[in-house]
Structure 1
Amino acid sequence: MAVTKLLTIYQPEKIHINGKVRLQARFDDSGSENILWYESSETYGTYMTTERVDAFLVGLLWLALKKGQNILVKGALSEKLYYSLNHHLIPLIAQIYKHKHIKVLCDNLVSTPLPNEGAVGTGLSCGIDSLCTAYEHLGRAVPAKYQITHFTFFNTGSNQMMGSQKWQDKIYQDRVAWAKACAQELGKDLIVVDSNIHDILKMSFVKTHTLRNISALLVFQKLFHVYYYSAGYQTLTAKFNQDSASYDPISLPLLSTENVTFYSAGSNFSRVQKTRIVSEFELSYKYLNVCLVRIKNCGRCLKCKRTLLTLDVLGSIEKYKNIFNLEAFYKIKDSYIKEVIEGRNRDILFKDIYDEMVRRNYLKK
């Protein structure tokens, strides 16, 4: 497929709508105009970055890759991001997914940092990866300038992966309330960001989540100087696949700008190690949420049973009796153990659990 026409992105603007603040940018996709937007509360509207096109370039990158279009940025762009995308990240993504090698074009590159509050953030979904990152970066072992000051919750597509529109809206509101309550107990603000990026891209969330979520964070370059994006894979055992998390340790530093630095948090831990760390975090007994279908963890879905078996192997399962349906899990436990044993040579997460079973003589108990 040849590179045809341009995807043109214009300088963003900030508007007030329905008591919220929206940062939006117009873009032209081969003659068809549209708007990508990110919306948050008035409290954080002041930190929205109208001075750079960075957030919108990252958010629309997958659209251009899918269509094989070069991107023309009509506005100011971070020089560091421009260099990293053109010379490193775009070529990598093109090789992984066999896409055409596109280019970003811009004649207004800026290397001067914006005023910045020095905040440190991470997403708070309350899953294993998320709570592990939170626990690791709230203690004194982390230097003061790298300790978490704010949590984020981005509605960029994870809540639209299944179910009806009514169900998606409900699960989004439920997850926000859950995360907000957890953040409050930790004494931190939760910055909630809504966006129409899912409707714009119309692509697999799993394949594109890193760029979607980083684009939402780049909206607040006048607030954050460090952001931890929770790793989905252990770097040591990761192989490139359809999940963008499989190459996060490479892509995240390349998405950093003169203002904010991104880290792949927890990438040195296996999923079992993360679960053990989380099991030592008392707040997780109240807020751990891994379920694919509901806030009160069902105990039977893919993520619930994997987490519960790991917790059982670690001897910590009873700590979670108030937020998981343990009765439902115990009914399928034996069949799931069999599935893990049989699949350990083709699934790294199963192998991780199996190896822990062997270490702890779990199967002989």
Structure 2
Amino acid sequence: MITIGKPEIKRINNTVRLQAVITIGEKEDILWYAVEDKYGNFLTEDRADAFVIGLLWKALEHGYDIHVEAPISERLYFTINSFLIPIISQFYNYKKINVICEQLDSNPIPNAGAVGTGLSCGIDSFSTIYENLMNDKPKNYQITHFTFFNTGSHGRYGKNWTRVLYKNRIKITRACANELGKELIIVNSNVSQFVSFDFQATHTLRNMSAVLALQKLFNVYYYSSTYHIKDFKLSTKDSAYYDVLNLSMLSTESVNLFSTCPNFSRVDKTRLVAKFEPAYKYLNVCTRSAYNCGKCNKCLRTLLTLEMIGALENFKSLFNLKSYYLNRAKFIEKVKAEYNSDSLLKEIYDEMVRTNFLSDQK
């Protein structure tokens, strides 16, 4: 059994924490989400939604029911118990667990009506921003805030290199947010301490737990899709494959969560980003560092796509192109060999065929 205590607010130096005591068996610990002091009033201490979702993978993996000693949103309670937990449990062959709570609240939390999205400065992130800012959206669905979460994407919790990468990426993100004229909310958390699964398999719930910690701020939140909707499937490797399902299950009476650009391939998204001038200074796709190494899979995938669509010149200052050209031929062979088993490589291969790119390389 996992027991979640009543959330509380703690001020520590220049940050404000939303935290709760977590009891797993006989062991007590604290799960927390921290923001800068000026955003502290938006932390949602009167609902335990964030903690339930932050701990859901832990509970599923070990077959623990979750007992919540504080109110949670009625819609969230209904959707995860009725749909999300049974679906994931059956797919992973886990024991079906239950979230137990005697205090369900169906009232929307009064909030600032903000519209948020993550600003990782990657292709998916920039395509969401471009599509929203450059198209005519209703006022209540126009992006007002960017977010940057430390929930596991920068490496293992507590490691020194993780902190270094996190801080370096913040510098890029903060500069980009300033140029785009939007507020940037940074959420730090120790949720990774409670999740042993790989980040890719669990990122949706980790990141949405941070959004649910800010229900006094957000009315709408956009989570950038990774894959085209035609590739929808339940997957143990990457929860992004079924984000359309996840996000509908994790929305509450107070905040609506949307998967953005699900009808775009990664090649199509790269075309959008190639038209977005701020990306020429801030695009960051590397898995290894805040400077794009030019040789990891994400860098190679992005650079080859930019080259195919004739946009590499605009981004050359952001990548180690020497490394790219040293690894380019090998990566093209990888695309040709593995496109049938990798949807993102398949999109690149299809573009190669469509544009006769491979013929031009002979």
TM-score calculated relative to the size of structure 2: 0.97
* CA distance in 1 between partners of 2:339 and 2:222 (Å): 30
Q: How far 1:200 moved relative to its partner?
A: 2.1
CA RMSD of aligned residues (A): 1.3
1:10-89 alignment, distance < 5 Å: 10-89=5-84
Whole-angstrom CA distance in 2 between matches of 1:129 and 1:23: 29
Partner of 1:182: 176
Unaligned runs of 5+ in 1: 1-5
Contact 2:229–2:263 under 8 Å retained in 1: yes
Name 1:314's counterpart in structure 2: 309
Which residue of 200, 205, 211 corresponds with 2:205? 211
Partner of 2:161: 167
Aligned mate of 2:100, from 101, 105, 108: 105
**Distance in structure 2 (CA, Å) of the matches to 1:97 and 1:124:** 31
Matches within 5 A, 1:201-240: 201-240=195-234
The answer to whether the Cα contact below 8 Å between 2:117 and 2:146 also exists between their aligned partners in 1 is yes
Aligned: 1:134 with 2:129: yes
The one-letter code matched in structure 1 to 2:208 is I
Structure 1 residue 203: deviation in Å?
2.6
How far residue 244 of structure 1 moved from its aligned partner, in angstroms, is: 1.1
List per-residue Cα deviations over 1:127-167 (Å, max 9, x = no partner).
111111111112342211111100001101111159x9222
1:91-137 Cα distance to aligned partner (Å, 9 max, x none): 11112211111011111100111111110001111111111111111
| 1:199 corresponding residue in structure 2 | 193
**Distance of 2:56 and 2:338 partners within structure 1:** 36
Give 1:328 deviation, angstroms: 1.6
**Residue 261, structure 1, aligned to residue 265, structure 2:** no
Counterpart amino acid of residue 40 in structure 1: V
Separation in 2, partners of 1:260, 1:114: 9
Identical-residue share of aligned pairs (%): 51
Q: In structure 2, what residue type is equivalent to 1:22?
A: R
Q: TM-score, normalised by structure 1?
A: 0.96
Matched, 1:286 2:271: no
Change (3 A) 1:140 1:349: closer
Partner-residue secondary structure (3-state), 1:182:
helix
Deviations 1:278-305 (A, max 9, x none): 1111111111100111122111111000
Q: Is 1:272 aligned to 2:267, yes or no? A: yes
Equivalent AA in structure 2 for residue 319 of structure 1: N
The answer on whether the counterparts of 2:227 and 2:265 sit within 8 Å (CA) in structure 1 is: yes
- The equivalent residue for 1:331 is 326
SS at match of 1:121: strand
Secondary structure at the residue paired with 1:291? coil
Instruction: Letter of the 2:223 partner, please give it.
Output: Y
Is 2:358 the counterpart of 1:353? no
For residues 233 and 74 of structure 2, what CA distance do their matches in structure 1 show? 30
Q: Distance in 1 between the 2:231 and 2:47 partners?
A: 36
Aligned to 2:246: 251
Partner of 1:299: 294
Q: Answer whether contact 1:161 1:205 (CA < 8 A) is retained.
A: no
- CA drift of 1:239 comes to 2.6
Supply the distance in 1 between the matched residues of 2:212 and 2:250 (Cα, whole angstroms): 9
